[in-house]
Amino acid sequence: MRRIRVILNPWSDRGRARAQKAQIEAAARPFGGVEVVLTERPRHAQLLAREAAEAGYELVVAAGGDGTVHEVVNGLVQGGATEAALGVIPIGSGNDFAYALGVPTEIETAVSRLFTGQLRTIDLARVEDENGRYEIFDNNLGIGFDAVVVIETESITRVHGFMMYFWAVLRTIAFYYQTPQLKMWFDDEEVEQESLFLALGVGPRGGGGFFLTPDARHDDDRIDSCLVNPVGRLTMLGMLGQAIKGTHVTSRHVTMRQSQRIQIQANMPLPIHIDGEIFAYPKDNVRRVTITSLPGALKVMA
C-alpha cells in the first residue's frame, strides 16, 4: 500500500481549512487511509514535507492553498527528494496550481485522485536575488503592481477566494502607482524600460482567476512572461476584465514572451511575490533577481 502523508494547513482559506481534516480522513479510508499532520507555523509545511520524503513516504500531499503547495514543493525540491511525488488537496483561497493540473476542488474527488490518478512530471522555476537567497516556485511570480496586490490581501479579512484578490486589485489601482526602470534579459534578448509590472508563469492562472500568462504550461521548459507598460488608472480598470479572460495578451500595452532564463535589475527596491507568497517586500531592498526554468523537476499525482 502506498505511504501517503497529508500536510494540512489549518489556516488556509482564512482558517476554514481546519474543519476539513475529518473529511479528508473519511474520504481516504476506503483506499487504506492517509496520515494527516497539521502545520503549526509559517514554513512548517516545508519542514514536514522534507521529513516525509526522507522517511520514505511515496506521496506528500499539500492540503491547503497555493502557499501550502509552495512550501511543500520547496521542502521536496530543496531537500533533494527525487523519489517522493507531490499530491494536492486544494482547499485554499486561490488554488491556481491545482487548476493548472486539473485537480478538482471537491475534497472527496481530490482525495480519491491521490490513489487513482496518474503521475506526471512537471517543470518548476527558481528565483534568486543578489544576496544568494533563493526559492522554488511552482506556478507564478510577480514583480511590481502584481506583488503589491498580494501584499494588499494580507489586510483583507471580510472576503476570501477570488473576490479577495479582486478587491485587492481595486485597492492597488486606487492607491499604488510606481513604474520602476527595469533592465531585463529574456534569454539573449535585452530590454530596458519603465514597467507597471512583470508577471511570470509556469502555470496559466494566478489570484484565483487572473490569466496573466494564459499559454503557460508545466511541461514545456519555458517561463511565460507578461510585461506591462506604464498605463493610467482608467486603462488599468479596462485591462482588468481582459486579464480575467486572458485576452490582454493582444494589448499594445503588453509584451508576452517565453524564456528559460530571465534576469531583472531595477533602479529601486522591488516588491516580489512567488505563488502568492511574498518573496521580497520593498523594505528588503531587493533590486536584482535571476529566474531559471527547472524542467521535469517534480513528479505530481494529477
**How high does pLDDT run on average in the chain?**
95
> Is residue 275 pLDDT above 80, yes or no?
yes
Query: In this structure, are 159 and 209 located in the same domain?
Result: yes
Q: What is the CATH number of the domain that holds 219?
A: 2.60.200.40
Instruction: Please give the Cα distance from 38 to 63 (Å, whole number).
Output: 9
Q: Domain total for the chain? A: 2
Query: In this structure, are 273 and 130 located in the same domain?
Result: yes
> Per-residue pLDDT averaged across 52-72, rounded?
96
> Is residue 221 pLDDT above 90, yes or no?
yes
Tell me 260's DSSP state. Answer: S
> Is residue 298 pLDDT above 80, yes or no?
yes
Predicted confidence (pLDDT) per residue in 96-125, tens digit: 999 999 999 999 999 999 999 999 999 999
Query: In this structure, are 105 and 231 located in the same domain?
Result: no
Name the pLDDT band for 78 (thresholds 50, 70, 90): confident
> Is residue 1 pLDDT above 70, yes or no?
no
- The residue segments making up the domain with residue 56 are 4-117
For a pLDDT cut of 90, what percent of the chain falls above it?
89
Cell 517522493 belongs to 84
**Quick check: helix, strand or coil at residue 213?**
coil
pLDDT of res. 223: 98
The pair phi, psi for residue 89, each rounded to 5°, is -115, 100
> Is residue 81 pLDDT above 70, yes or no?
no
